[in-house]
Amino acid sequence: MRRKQSKILTALAVLGAATAAWFALPASADEAPLPFTVTNNTGRGDAVFLYVLGTNLTTGKLGYANASGQFTEWTGGAATPVPAPDVSIPGPASGAATTIQIPRDMSGRIYESFGQKLVFKLTTDGLVQPAPWASGDPNHDILFDWSEFTLNGGGLFMNSTQVDMFAVPQEVSVTSATGTSTSGAPVAGGRQKIIDQVKASGDFARSVVTGADGTVLRILSPGKAADAGLMSPTYYDSYIASAWAAPVTVVPFADQPSRRFAGHPSGNTLVFTDSSGATVATFAKPTTANVWGCDGALAAPNDQVVGPIARTLCAALVRGTLGTLDTQPSGTAADFYRNSTPDVYAKAIHSNMADGKAYAFAFDDVQNQESLVHDGAPTSAGITMTAF
């Protein structure tokens, strides 16, 4: 099953257990940090601050990396959250670029904040990530965003993400001896087009969050907006009821077209059987919140049957194709978001990306719709923050 990065990373509001030990990643030639360039083409005059936060995959410890690629574990957490040390890295001014180093065997996030440093806190369970959709979060009034990465023996996997919110348009890239791969760049004026399209939908309009100076700080994803009381928690209910009543065949592995699971409605349950007729999975009718989060009734365990079916069902519900296309996944991007209650947020983001790719919800990698770049032997990588 293909790796799922955004789902793992964005599910973590509090990361790991803090420890008292310090750890530096190896610096041998074949384990040297990866040069990583952040380019600021936003046209904004704000000071920019960068953060490289995540997990040391060798030890499983949580921490941060400095500009030279040295990884340090978090220390000093308490039962009541206490301020984390300032681990920001000065970022580039508009029209400039800053090159830092990313440690090998690390998975995490690269944050960019504008005008102010982000506020991080430590508990005995680890680092508390910014959650500006939550009441009272100290980062609510800061313009910031992030991309996600894993750098390990399989190379670099990196994606921009809009699973939680969309704020700073950014293109991710990776370079190797064979060339450069990019994804996530918006079309010209794409950020404003996304804002305008979301604002034009009465159901989604309040998910656009504006600062005191009139700057749009972010657009919350529907699940986060609903959690914040900015969107109806029952938005999808009528569509779910209709879609859940239709039989469906799930073929979750593109390279295994003969591996098929037949879904049959039974009251409020979809019952899936394999080719022998044996029942392999059952799913209760999900709520709107389950669809936004791809969790609850649609929880996807890391196995080879229930998880792949669940992620396929969630992607089909978010895209509005369940109940219309009787085999899932199927169709193309032209078939998505055409139902009576479409995910306007995901539709606007995808339609305003130059390559059509984005991580607008947790399982947007179904049918390879995600803004992911990967190279098994990267020589450099980067993020380009585009004009807005």
Active site residues: 148, 164
In terms of Cα–Cα distance, which of 152, 150, 132 is closest to 142? 132
DSSP notation for 85-129: P---EE-PPTT-EEEEEE-SSEEEEEEEEESSPPP-EEETTEEEP
Provide the token pair at 85: 């040390």
In terms of Cα–Cα distance, which of 101, 174, 151 is closest to 373? 174
Provide the token pair at 42: 């936003």
**CA–CA distance, 244 with 285 (Å, rounded to integer):** 7
Assess contact for 210 and 217: CB atoms under 8 A.
yes
Residue 32 CA: distances (Å) to CA of 25, 148, 168, 231: 9, 20, 29, 46
DSSP state of 62: E
DSSP notation for 266-331: ETTEEEEE-TTS-EEEEEEPPPHHHHHHT-GGG---SSSSHHHHHHHHHHHHHHT-TTTSSEES-S
Q: Specify the pairing of strand 71-73 against strand 62-65.
A: antiparallel
Express the helix, strand and coil content of the chain in percent, nearest 5 each. 20, 30, 50
> Where do we find the tokens 């607008």?
360
**CA–CA distance, 358 with 330 (Å, rounded to integer):** 18
Which spans in the chain are helix H? Answer: 5-10, 190-199, 222-227, 237-243, 288-293, 306-319, 344-351
**CA–CA distance, 362 with 291 (Å, rounded to integer):** 10
Burial of 113 by CB count in 10 Å (0-12 exposed, 13-18 middle, 19+ buried)?
A: buried
**CA–CA distance, 69 with 278 (Å, rounded to integer):** 51
